[in-house]
Amino acid sequence: MPPRTTLGPFARAVRRIVRSIPRGRVLSYGEVALRAGRPGGARAVVRALHQLDDVPWWRVLRADGTLAPQVAREQGQLLAAEGHEARPGRSARRRAR
For the domain spanning 9-81, the CATH number is 1.10.10.10
Rounded Cα gap, residues 85 and 35, in angstroms: 25
Domain spans in the chain, listed from the N-terminal domain onward:
9-81
Number of Cβ atoms within 10 Å of the Cβ of 93: 16
**pLDDT mean over 38-60:** 96
0.85 cut: is pTM over it?
Answer: no
Does residue 95 carry a pLDDT above 80? no
Q: 74: pLDDT confidence band, cut at 50, 70 and 90?
A: very high
* Phi and psi torsions of 41, nearest 5°: -100, 35
**pLDDT mean over 58-70:** 91
